[in-house]
Amino acid sequence: MIAGTQGGCDCGRVRYRLEAEPIVIKCCHCHACQRQTGSAFALNLVIETAHVTLLGEPPEAIELETDSGFGQANHRCPQCRVSVWSVFHQAGDKARFVRAGTLDQTRSITPTLHIFTKAKQAWVTIPDEAEQFEGFYRGRDVVRVFGEENANRWRAVLER
């Protein structure tokens, strides 16, 4: 259960609480995410903006490129510079892509979706039961990947 979980940056200035379960937990293996995180991927909990309660200072948005070409506003603590979430312009401002590593408790976070696996590091093993796409998934895949209820939540984010 993730609803009610809190998280924040390294210095503690930016704090937040997730008020609902995420729509999906996705792992992006694209080169841009590798470069931006300094790791093999970015692990994001996708959740509606309305379900993220800011408990501390607001993060600062920094514009970055993405492999999709739409870009993102990466929100970082103005002091310690930790990335707490992103807003992907393709999805609009109604969703936050919360960095899983900023949660206070991270052990129960397991991605069910892996994207841009064509850029995946060779040593990374994706479980057989996880959905995976060489690039970005398509609209027709959303119900299967997210489940019916979460697909409806995602459609509401996109206003479709």
Tell me the per-residue pLDDT of 128-151, one tens digit each, with 9 for 90 and over: 999 999 998 888 999 999 999 999
pLDDT band at 89 (very low <50, low <70, confident <90, very high): confident
Q: Is 116 left (phi over 0), alpha (psi -120 to 50) or beta?
A: left
Give the number of other Cβ atoms within 10 Å of residue 91's Cβ: 17
User: Average pLDDT of 119-136?
Assistant: 94
- Cα within 13 Å of Cα(67), Cβ side: 19
Whole-angstrom Cα distance, residue 45 to residue 92?
16
Using pLDDT thresholds of 50, 70 and 90, give the confidence band for residue 55.
very high
Q: What tokens does 84 get?
A: 């707490």
> DSSP character for 138?
P
Per DSSP, the chain holds a count of helices (H) and strands (E) of 3, 11
Which residues have C-beta within 8 Å of that of residue 66, sequence separation ≥ 6? 30, 32, 72, 88
The full set of domains in the chain, from first to last, is 6-158 (3.90.1590.10)
Query: Which alpha helices (DSSP H) does 60-110 contain, by range?
Result: none
134 close to 43: Cβ distance less than 8 angstroms? no
Cα diameter, the chain: 41
